[in-house]
Amino acid sequence: MKAICFNFEIHQPMRLKRYRFFDIGNDHYYYDDFLNDEIVTRVAHNSYIPAAETLLRMIDATKGAFRCSISISGVALEQLEQYVPEFIDLLKKLADTGAVEFLAVPYAHSLASLTDPDEFANQVKVECDKLHSLLGVKPKVLHNTELIYDDEIAAQVLAMGFKGVLTEGAKHILGWKSPDYVYSAASAPKLRLLLKNDKLSDDIAARFSDTSWDQYPLTADKYMNWVASTPADEQVVNLCLNLETFGGFHPANTGIFQFLEALPRFAAEKGVEFRTPSQVLSVLKPVGELSVMHPISGADEARDVSAWLGNSLQNEAFNKLYSVAERVRLCDDRRLKQDWYYLQGSDHLYYMSTKHFSDGAAHSMFSPYETPYQAFTNYMNVLADFIVRVEEQYPLSIENEELNSLLTTIRNQATEIETLNKELASMRKNIEQFNVEHALRQAPEAKEEKAPAGKAKAAKPARKATTKKATKK
């Protein structure tokens, strides 16, 4: 039976305040709290909350037959916990239904997978821990930042223990192949790949309210006809949508929520079911291997990583940021590590894109800056102050290898001291035990020594009496 595998993505970056050159070294707080509060609250009430309530009604109306997955960055979770805690309650309700799977993502929505395997693994682990503590779920499938993927990342994902990864069904990678199958990674054959169906995803995400589109208006009946009419052997259609599509990019008055809620009814009529990513991977076997030599993503027409690393500004910022990665991971400063996550957000680099034409319009639409150069200048000022703080703890004059060697020695000494302290504590305990046992053994001996002495004193009068008696005779 043909199935739809829905994935709804949620992410909100920590937007930076205007940070001047003269603030470097003087102001260590980088964020525009008012702007972040305003945007997150507005998006949550216009989009996230009504969308989540719609999903809950769909699950209830179908008695759990409607299923989907959600990917939410740790940075977004932090802001939603702070500004819109009622949405977190809705996420908990969705998790409790058992019909919604939560996927793992890098905590900071970063590009760490492209340059720093240790940081990538660490962020995914922190994200999984956050989801488990907050929602009681353990992700089994990974959704990397903006669907970024290549053969090197596949090996890393498999080593982390995931059974599958969601990525882009890029035409230049697939060629004549269809995205509507399960594939295995060429570099890690045990890892399964779920590929986004671009056309059917964009029919909702990009074209739903476009009155110039030749298929406008899009209805649930029409959409399910398209899904059902795909070749019979293509068993799964992976749809990846930003949750903000519903009520955000397409306002509620376009009928987007009614469209979403009507999908299960028409899907049942067409014999189409809904599955979570893990369900798809447990039912379907891969039809072949897929090799991706260079990173792909779900952004822009090129479907590569040029949206974040396509010009010299972006590469300068990217390389400067990750030049201090090892030092930040070694420190214990909670505030410094928090800033490290926030500054890794891919959005900061996205704002620096100088792409033109249709892609340029998309980049500028999401940016809080007037120009990419303003975005670069502001970010580099913040990064300069951040690096000063890192250098205060671990000077950059010390090479990474030398620093690692010194820190390894310090850790080994700390471990040795801890071991010696444990041995000392154990010896003290043994001595105390010995003293107690020795005291117990000495007590009976003392009693025995006292007893004969008492008998001897009692015998003396008897001997005297005998002597007197003999004398009398």
User: pLDDT at position 405, please?
Assistant: 60
Query: Does the pLDDT value for residue 373 go beyond 70?
Result: yes
Does the pLDDT at position 28 exceed 50? yes
Q: What is the reported pLDDT for 457?
A: 47
**Taking the C-alpha atoms of 350, 354, 359 and 361 in order, what is their torsion angle to the nearest 10 degrees?**
90
Q: Please name which of 181, 105, 180 lies closest in space to residue 149, comparing C-alpha atoms.
A: 105
Which of 24-33, 138-147, 414-423 is predicted least confidently? Answer: 414-423
Instruction: Inform me whether the pLDDT recorded for 451 exceeds 80.
Output: no
The three-class DSSP label of residue 100 is strand
- Whole-Å CA distances, 106 to 73, 274, 412: 7, 26, 31
Residue 473 confidence class, pLDDT cut points 50, 70, 90: very low
281-290, 356-365, 393-402: least confident range: 356-365
Q: Mind giving me the DSSP string for 149-180?
A: B-HHHHHHHHHTT-SEEEEE--HHHHTT--SS
Check whether 401 has a pLDDT greater than 70: no
- Give residue 175's region: left, alpha or beta (phi > 0; psi -120 to 50): left
User: What ranges make up the beta strands (E) of 11-137?
Assistant: 68-72, 100-103
What's the CA gap between 362 and 459, in Å, rounded?
116
Residue 286 identity (one-letter amino acid)? P
Helix (H/G/I), strand (E/B), else coil: 27: coil
Of 140, 68, 144, which is closest to residue 100 (Cα–Cα)?
A: 68
- 425-449 pLDDT per residue, tens: 888 888 888 787 777 777 666 555 5
Least confident of 80-94, 219-233, 384-398: 384-398
Tell me the per-residue pLDDT of 263-277, one tens digit each, with 9 for 90 and over: 999 999 999 999 999
Query: How would residue 293 be classed by pLDDT, with cut points 50, 70 and 90?
Result: very high
CB atoms within 10 A of CB 122: 16
Return d(Cα 11, Cα 40) in angstroms, integer. 10
Number of H helices, E strands in the chain: 19, 10
146 is catalytic: yes
Closest of 123, 79, 118 to residue 104, by C-alpha: 123
CA distance 274 to 1: 10
Please determine, for residue 174, whether its predicted confidence score (pLDDT) is greater than 80. yes
Which position among 146, 316, 326, 401 bears the catalytic label? Answer: 146
- Does the pLDDT value for residue 359 go beyond 60? no
Q: How many residues does the chain have?
A: 473
72/244 Cα distance (integer angstroms): 12
- The amino acid present at 209, given as its one-letter code, is S
**Which two three-digit tokens encode residue 99?**
């019909």
Ramachandran class of 161: left when φ > 0, alpha when ψ lies in -120 to 50, beta otherwise: left
Radius of gyration of the chain from its Cα atoms, rounded to whole angstroms: 34
Handedness of CA 162, 164, 168, 173 (dihedral sign): positive
N-term to C-term CA, the chain: 130
pLDDT of 472 higher than 60: no
- Averaged pLDDT, 149-163: 97
310 has a pLDDT exceeding 60: yes
Range 362-379 average pLDDT: 88
Average pLDDT, the chain: 90
Closest by CA position to 100, among listed 143, 130, 56, 53: 56
Beta-bridged to residue 274, according to DSSP, are: 4
pLDDT computed for residue 358 by the predictor: 43
Closest to 71 (Cα-Cα) out of 166, 152, 208: 166
Look up the pTM and report it: 0.84
pLDDT grade, residue 411 (50/70/90)? low
Q: What is the dihedral of CA 109, 110, 113, 116, to 10 degrees?
A: -140
Tokens standing for 226?
A: 């398209």
- Say yes or no to pLDDT of 459 above 80: no
Among 164, 151, 139, which Cα is nearest to 114's? 151
Q: Does residue 270 contact residue 227 with C-beta atoms inside 8 Å?
A: yes
Cα of 163 vs its chain's centroid, Å: 16
